Amino acid sequence: MSPPLITHLYTADPSAHVFNNRVYVYPSHDRETDIAFNDNGDQYDMADYHVFSMSSLDAPYTDVVDHGVVLRTEDVPWVGKQLWAPDAAAKNGKYYLYFPARDKAGVFRIGVAVGDQPEGPFKPDPEPIKGSFSIDPASFVDEADGQAYLYFGGLWGGQLQCYQGGYDRFDEKWLGPQEPAGVGKKALFPKVAKLSDEMRSFDGEVQDLVILAPETGEPINADDHDRRFFEAAWMHKKDGLYYFSYSTGDSHYLVYATSTSPSGPFTYAGRILEPVLGWTTHHSIVEFQGRWFLFHHDCELSKGVDHLRCIKVKEIFYDKEGKIMIEKPE
């Protein structure tokens, strides 16, 4: 088992990118609270973000730099609480930090903050991104044409199930640990939106990112909790193929689906990681110096406290067909 990458803080939801030949990690910063545990995730009550960077991903991790606090709840006028899993992107010589948080009314939105350097500081826009909702933004800039995308969404505490009547209609009847279920019901899809060239607004409509079951060619069923999308979207591209990976939530897997288009449809392709210590599992995948790495978290550092997590990194591999392998093939 890999050792935690960071031990002086609890960290989770690592979004890793390579900027200027250095690895930058944008994680959640977990903290202790006295909030009672529930399936809505209220105990995940994070209040700021740190950025970390490093020049090597091989243990022991001796050169991890903590760049300090880059954004706080009180820096963002629209935020009420819960700074959850962030991500970052680079474009046009600027760096963009995307972050989900509950607004003052308790509804999750996605904000953006802009910086001149990958380690910040980041200046937040005063309003959330228009048309954004739910959690776990993951940005992806396609090197094929420079188009940037934001993938997002998360069930239960992440409120994705509250938008079944339309992306502009928040239905509070669906708040709490519930989602579509039963024979014939299809799973809810993660969302994707094109980002405009200035990276701070959506260019066009938010769309469903359709994930198909390979054996039927039909969307994944709602009851298929081993494969349906729950949260923790991530996109990477290798050899022209788009890989959308995510957490299955209450079955605790990290899985992936592939497509020849960044907007899908995607076809489920397999598991990346089996359940780890702790309820949540969340990750990113990045290429660094010709090798591919999975960043993820577990609760080893807190000895199993679900909301006190630690990030880890592990090299991953691909077979000849492009299937992700967690162990090096013989």
Whether residue 92 contacts residue 199, with contact meaning beta carbons closer than 8 Å, is answered with yes
Taking the least distance from each CB to ligand FUB, the nearer of 158 and 264 is: 158
Residue 129 · residue 193 · CB < 8 Å: no
| Minimum separation from the CB atom of position 321 to ligand FUB (A) | 29
Rounded to whole angstroms, how far apart are CA atoms 44 and 126? 24
Closest by Cα among 313, 326, 242 to 284: 313
Contacting residues toward ligand FUB, per CB under 6 A: 12-13, 28, 44, 84-85, 135-136, 154, 231-232, 280, 282
Question: Containing H/E element for 113?
Answer: strand 108-115
* Closest CB to ligand FUB among residues 146, 295: 295
* In the complex, least distance from residue 131 CB atom to ligand FUB, rounded to whole angstroms: 19
Question: Is the CB of 39 or the CB of 172 nearer to ligand FUB?
Answer: 39
Question: Which among 287, 284, 252, 289 has a CA at the least distance from the CA of 271?
Answer: 252
Shortest Å distance, C-beta 135 to ligand FUB: 5
Query: SS3 string of 3-33?
Result: CCCCCCCEEEEEEEEEECCEEEEEEEEECCC
Nearer to ligand FUB, 177 or 204 (CB): 177
198 catalytic per annotation: no
CB of 99 or CB of 317, closer to ligand FUB: 99
Shortest distance, CB of residue 153 to ligand FUB, whole angstroms? 10
Asked if 13 is an active-site residue, the reply is: yes
CA dihedral of 253, 213, 41, 121, whole degrees rounded to 10: 80
Give dist(CA 265, CA 272) in Å, integer.
Answer: 20
Q: Shortest CA distance to 202 belongs to which of 137, 106, 123?
A: 137
Looking only at the bridges linking them, the beta strands covering 266-273 and 254-259 are antiparallel
DSSP string spanning 260-316? SSTT--EEEEEEEE---SSS---EEEEEETTEEEEEEEESTTTTS-TTS-EEEEEEE
Instruction: State the catalytic residue, choosing from 87, 119, 231, 298.
Output: 231
Q: How far is the CB of 172 from ligand FUB (least distance, A)?
A: 20
Complex with ligand FUB: residue 203 or 300, whichever CB lies closer = 300
* Structure tokens that stand for 90 in this block: 């680079």
47 touches 30 (CB < 8 A)? no
Provide the minimum distance between the beta carbon of 329 and ligand FUB in the complex, in angstroms, as a whole number. 29
Residues labelled as active-site residues: 13, 231
